[in-house]
A = this chain, B = another copy of it.
Amino acid sequence: MTKKKNNYHHGELRAQLLEAVRYLIEEKGPDGFSVAEACRMAGVSTAAPYKHFKDREEILHAVILEAMHRMGAAMQAAADAYPAGDPERIVALGRAYIDFAKSEPGVFAVMFGSGNNHAEIPALAEEGQAKFAIVVKVVAEHMNRCMEDDEVTARAYALWCAVHGHCFLVLDGKADKTKINITEDAYLRLVGSSYLPPK
């Protein structure tokens, strides 16, 4: 992991710093990471990162962006595992989201936690919208309506809220991990089944 060439020039410092930061975030919690420690892990002086990143913040953003990619891919794959229109797609989407949060709780917290206003960072905003679009699409199929339908976005958003809220409540110990869970029924109830008369 801490592969170290003897060269003065490290060669892949940027990538290794990101890896170190991701590791530290998982290990010591979202706030427990320091640039200095990441430097030590990469075997480099504490000033080195500033050749690659402007800020501590910019390092975090890079970590987040990469994680957003992975998460989006996981969600897409989960949905694609079922045929279009299958209600199971919705459940799979939620499961993928939650699985990601559970497998990388620290990174998840950094991604969606406070202090990184996605709206102010174009790359993050874009990536976030792309992920939401996946949800909207699946919901639209399920409801048999088009993606632009207001009711579709509203329900997709409600679904996202529920899943997202669950992740945060569990990860931070606000809800008892073992006893409580969001049921998959809830997703479907939220989205509303197209089988029921749509009012």
Which residues on the B side are within 8 Å of A168 (C-beta)? 112, 114, 164-165, 168
Q: Residue A148 at the B interface, CB < 8 A?
A: no
B115 touches A173 (CB 8 A): no
Q: Residue A162 at the B interface, CB < 8 A?
A: yes
Q: Among B120, B165, B169, which residue has its beta carbon within 8 angstroms of that of A173?
A: B120
Q: Residue A116 at the B interface, CB < 8 A?
A: yes
A183 touches B161 (CB 8 A): no
- How far is it, in angstroms, between the C-alpha of A180 and the C-alpha of B120 when the chains are bound? 17
Determine how close the nearest CB of chain B comes to the CB of A92; give it in whole angstroms. 18
Within 8 A of B (CB), among A109-126: 109-110, 112-120, 125
Q: Among B115, B174, B182, B190, which residue has its beta carbon within 8 angstroms of that of A30?
A: B115
Q: Residue A13 at the B interface, CB < 8 A?
A: no
A29 touches B165 (CB 8 A): no
B169 touches A154 (CB 8 A): no
- What residue in chain B is nearest A161 (Cβ atoms)? B165
Determine how close the nearest CB of chain B comes to the CB of A116; give it in whole angstroms. 7
Which residues on the B side are within 8 Å of A166 (C-beta)? 161, 165
Q: Residue A153 at the B interface, CB < 8 A?
A: yes
Q: Mark A86-128, 1 if CB is under 8 A from B, else 0.
A: 0000000000000000000010011011111111100001001
B158 touches A162 (CB 8 A): yes
Task: Using A112-B172, A154-B183, A160-B165 as known contacts, list a sample of 9 further A-B pairs with CB atoms less than 8 Å apart, ordered by residue number in A.
Answer: A109-B113, A109-B114, A116-B172, A154-B186, A155-B186, A157-B175, A161-B182, A163-B165, A165-B166
Q: Which 10 A-B pairs have the closest CB atoms?
A: A165-B165, A119-B173, A161-B165, A109-B114, A164-B165, A158-B186, A117-B173, A162-B162, A161-B166, A161-B162
Chain A residues within 8 Å of B, Cβ to Cβ: 29-31, 106, 109-110, 112-120, 125, 128, 132, 153-155, 157-158, 160-166, 168-169, 171-177, 180-183, 186, 189-190, 192
